[in-house]
Amino acid sequence: MYDTAIIGAGINGVSVAYELMQKGQRVILFDMNGIASGGSGAAGAFISPKFSKGGELKEIIDKAFVYSMKFYEENFPHIFTKVNLIHTAQDDSEEFTIDAGLVNASAMCHALAKGVKLIASDVKSLVYDDTSWNINETYTAKNVVLATGAYAPVIHKPYIQMRGIWGHRIDVKTSTQNKNALHKFVSISPSKDGVLSIGATHNVHYHPQSSTEPYDVDAGRKELLDKASKSINLENVEVIKDYTGLRSGSLDYMPLVGSLVMSKVTLASTHINFKVKKADYEAYDYYPNLYMINGSGGYGFVLAPYLAKILVEHILSAKKISDRISPARFFHRYAKKL
Ligand SMILES: Cc1cc2nc3c(=O)[nH]c(=O)nc-3n(C[C@H](O)[C@H](O)[C@H](O)COP(=O)(O)OP(=O)(O)OC[C@H]3O[C@@H](n4cnc5c(N)ncnc54)[C@H](O)[C@@H]3O)c2cc1C
């Protein structure tokens, strides 16, 4: 029996695995397509703050930015690079230059998962039997963490809806030297050995599990190169590699970290008034030892180390998770409308 089973080996799942392993837990990790095979493998992956005026999303991303820059630099300096990032508003009204970071997305996910038992399989069944979770009728674990991104959920809850946005990144060989990371219509990395990356998540129509037509890679490449040409003039361009994946966002753009409410049991409770503006989430019934980490939008690599620390402190020490990132907020909205 494992202490914790994690479903999904993207940056969120492997960051939780890493934190738990640091605390001496026995961890088992499942992914239907392998480490960094979802949105995480396609990411840029820039470590930057949020370029907007204010708000709670900016607040959490900015805190996570400070935390994760230090985390990556201290623990994985060989796959983390400090970069000068120039962010330009699409209408050219503003331009900021900041000290940011860049990680090798796939290598970082593999490094974080080092030493964890990995099972390459699609988790289809998750059953609780009084003391532990049974996964695919084969493995048992005390805790389960769902880190499945925007893919079909293992446990479907009507109050949780994740939005998947399809992204595409290309590595291109070019004779143009680019010194800085550039963010405008697309993200462009600095060049290394004559190669740079161009990436964006902008396709809301394509989903790998529900679209009937395959993704048009050539059209995607053309769009990325057209958009990149608005920031930089690239010469002698040859696309040498494509990476694609879904990034997952929540309906209020804030991440989702914490326990899952058992909706039927909670709704049947006679002592909870669901129509109140500010709910008491502690009154709800939760699945035992079942947690999720999801909804990082375009900031998965910025948020993951910070959110994984919050989740692990909650799992191991019952430290409270802020109501603003608790999945219970969506249950409250759902219950209020019934
Ligand atoms: C083109 C692109 C560029 C991006 N650029 C940046 C960037 O510069 N900086 C940044 O911070 N973020 C960036 N992002 C966003 C970032 O990649 C995501 O926020 C992050 O990858 C989300 O990680 P995740 O672990 O939640 O999901 P994912 O990486 O999608 O991982 C989910 C995993 O769960 C697995 N899975 C799902 N269901 C099951 C099941 N039933 N059984 C087994 N396995 C299952 C999937 O195979 C998948 O590997 C970018 C994304 C894209 C696509």
Give one DSSP letter per residue of 222-269, joined into a string. HHHHHHHTTT----S-EEEEEEEEEEEE-TTSS-EEEEEE-HHHHHH-
Torsion of CA 192, 231, 48, 51, to 10 degrees: 180
pLDDT score of 204: 81
Q: What is the Cα–Cα distance from 187 to 275, expressed in whole angstroms? A: 43
pLDDT score of 54: 84
- Would you say the CB of residue 287 lies under 6 angstroms from ligand 1? no
- Would you say the CB of residue 10 lies under 6 angstroms from ligand 1? yes
Side-chain-side CA neighbours of 330 within 13 Å: the count stands at 23
pLDDT score of 53: 81
- Would you say the CB of residue 44 lies under 6 angstroms from ligand 1? yes
pLDDT score of 338: 85
Tokens of 280: 């008491």
How many angstroms separate the alpha carbon of residue 130 from the centre of ligand 1?
A: 32
Q: What is the Cα–Cα distance from 74 to 117, expressed in whole angstroms? A: 24
How many angstroms separate the alpha carbon of residue 288 from the centre of ligand 1?
A: 26
Tell the residue nearest (CA) to atom 38 of ligand 1.
Answer: 148
Dihedral angle sign, alpha carbons of residues 91, 50, 14, 260:
negative
- Would you say the CB of residue 154 lies under 6 angstroms from ligand 1? yes
What is the residue-wise DSSP string for 156-179?
--TT--PEEEEEEEEEEE-S----
**Each residue's pLDDT tens digit in the chain (338 positions)?**
999 999 999 999 999 999 999 999 999 999 999 999 999 999 999 999 998 888 999 999 999 999 999 999 999 999 999 999 999 999 999 999 999 999 999 999 999 999 999 999 999 999 999 899 999 999 999 999 999 999 988 999 999 999 999 999 999 999 999 999 999 999 999 999 999 999 998 788 888 888 999 999 999 999 999 999 999 999 999 999 999 999 999 999 999 999 999 999 999 998 898 888 888 999 999 999 999 999 999 999 999 999 999 999 999 999 999 999 999 999 999 999 88
Q: Give the largest Cα separation in the chain, rounded.
A: 69
Give all domains of the chain, ordered by start, each with its CATH number.
2-84+103-162+251-337 (3.50.50.60), 163-249 (3.30.9)
pLDDT score of 48: 95
Q: Which of 247, 256, 292, 307 to mutate to test the pocket of ligand 1 (most atoms within 8 A of CB)?
A: 247
- Would you say the CB of residue 203 lies under 6 angstroms from ligand 1? no
- C-beta separation of 119 from 5 below 8 A: no
**Which 3 state secondary structure label does DSSP give 140?**
strand
Is pTM, for the whole model, over 0.85?
yes
- Would you say the CB of residue 120 lies under 6 angstroms from ligand 1? no
- C-beta separation of 166 from 215 below 8 A: yes
- C-beta separation of 243 from 187 below 8 A: no
Could you give the C-alpha distances from 124 to 6, 7, 304, 313, in angstroms and in order?
13, 10, 25, 28
Count of CB atoms situated within 10 Å of the CB of 39: 29
Q: What is the Cα–Cα distance from 103 to 45, expressed in whole angstroms? A: 6
